[in-house]
Amino acid sequence: MTLRSRIYVSLFSIIVISFIATGIVAAFDHYEHDITFNEERIAEKEKSIRESLNYLLLQNGGYIHADSISMLLGDKVCELSEVNNLFITIYDLNGRYLVSMNSDTADYKKIPMQLNGDLTKQITSSTKEKAIILPSETNPTQNLAYWCFSDFHGRPLALVGMLYEKKEVEKAKLWNFMKEIGKTYILIFIVAGAIAFLITRDFTRSLKKLSDSINHLKLGKKNETLEWKSNDEIGQLIQEYNSMLFQLEASADKLAQQERETAWREMAQQVAHEIKNPLTPMKLRLQHLQRSWQDNPEEFQTRLNDFVQSMTDQIDTLSHIAQEFSNFAKMPQSKNERLNLQDIVKSVITTFENENQTISFFQNKSETAFIHGDKSQVIRVLNNLITNAIQSIPTDRTKKISLGLRFSINHVTIKITDNGNGISPEISKRIFMPNFTTRSTGSGLGLAMVKSIVTQMNGKVAFRTRVNEGSSFFVILPLDQKA
């Protein structure tokens, strides 16, 4: 539900609740008026009948014999019933029915023919000034009034019963009142709706404008401020938005500057890492070649040829990285081609071999493995993994490193195994994260770069490790099936 809808619902709900509350109060007030009216009316009827009966008693000398009551009061009861529009019944002092306007009517109106003893005693003893009024057991709109008819000396002569029909005179007034007030509330509804529309139109229009501005807010671009003439709550909200906008633009400029600086710094670290990886084995390889010249001159030519080939590949890779870095400091773009994986692996292995370390090589099939990728990037992947394997082995332990190729139908798996310290479980979760390293001199970019290159080649990289026993890294690449 929109804000405008909630305002409308709240406003109209208050009006409806007010109307209902007014109706309830009016109904309760009219109900009380009905009760008061009927109490006063029954008291007037009782007084009128009492006075008429007393006048009859006066005409008969202030006393009527019990045997004459039915005869003397019979005509009078009929007369009083007609005049007052009431049904009057005369009972003897024992509560037995004596006379009324019509006995058949008495049966129809469920007039009791015999009053119970307790009621008879109560009527005889306590109704000299005011009648006992009881609700009818058969009709909720009727009341029965009883009092004792006595002579001028206060001696009871008979019991008088009067059936009173309650009048709902206020009910019609209530309906007329509700109709008139209903018309008033309808007018209030219309006026309130118009006022709510005018108020919410400006209110929601401003909020919608603010919402649209926030939705179209873009970092690094010029965003327009909002204007509001009044210094009300919306004005304060828009002022806060404008202030936040200025702060956000300043923060965005600062963040962009920091991101540029960080990007250049990380780029420089990564390039330095890529260049530094092959330098140490190249230096050791050169020293090993020098000793071969001194110790085994007859084998020097063969070693020289291997050395020249491996150095050429490594230098080409370094030159390619440097060239690409000079072109707007970008890492090398992939130049994919069909590659002989065995030739690349053997070339990289010869770069790292010396008298202090050897790298054993094996493959499960004698066939040649061709892959589709960038040669320099494949060399960088192997350089990083072999360098990490060498650096993971403590200096007091004989270095044992193996590199193997395992073929499947559509893939080849490069497995590099070492007997180093292994990787702890807490480090394993972050091993491929950029800038994460366990060495004080490491850049933390090597394995992140390995994963990025392998992923670009539609491959996968994984590892298996045991603490203090060593690790195995697996690079799974798709085979190039084209002949």
Strands 370-373, 411-417: pairing kind: unpaired
CA 376 from centroid of its chain's CA atoms: 52
In a domain, 123, yes or no: yes
Q: Note the pLDDT tens digit of each residue in 169-183.
A: 556 666 777 777 777
The per-residue pLDDT for range 45-88, each reduced to its tens digit, is: 888 888 888 888 888 888 887 777 777 887 788 888 888 888 88
Which residue, among 24, 31, 40, 26, has the nearest Cα to 170 in the 3D structure?
31
> Which pLDDT tens digit goes with each residue over 366-402?
788 899 999 989 998 999 899 889 988 888 888 889 9
- Give me the mean pLDDT over the 240-269 stretch: 71
Same domain for 463 and 316: yes
Length of the chain measured in residues: 483
Distance separating alpha carbons of residues 295 and 300, to the nearest angstrom: 9
Residues 167 and 274 both lie in one domain: no
How far is the C-alpha of 193 from the C-alpha of 173, rounded, in Å? Answer: 30
pTM reported for the whole predicted model: 0.39
Residue 387 inside a domain? The answer is: yes
Q: What is the CATH number of the domain that holds 137?
A: 3.30.450.20
* Model pLDDT for residues 280-338, shown as the tens digit of each residue: 777 777 777 777 777 777 777 777 777 777 778 777 777 766 665 554 344 556 788 99
In 3D space, the residue among 440, 436, 467, 469 whose CA is nearest the CA of residue 450 turns out to be: 436
* Residues 310 and 421 grouped into a single domain: yes
In this structure, is residue 197 part of a structural domain? no
141 within some domain: yes
Domain assignment of residue 229, yes or no:
no
Q: How many CB atoms lie within 10 A of CB 314?
A: 22
Residue 335 sits in a domain of what CATH number?
3.30.565.10
Boundary-marking domain end, from 171, 198, 226:
171
Pairing of strands 401-407, 359-363: parallel
204 located within any domain: no
> 125, 150, 171: which is the final residue of a domain?
171
Please identify, among 136, 156, 171, the residue that sits at the C-terminal boundary of a domain: 171
Q: What's the total number of domains in the chain? A: 2
Do 465 and 318 belong to one domain? Answer: yes
How many helices and strands (H and E) does the chain possess? 11, 12
| Domain boundaries, position 64 | 3-171
**361 forms bridges with which residues in the sheet?**
403
pLDDT for 372: 92
Strands 337-340 and 156-165: unpaired
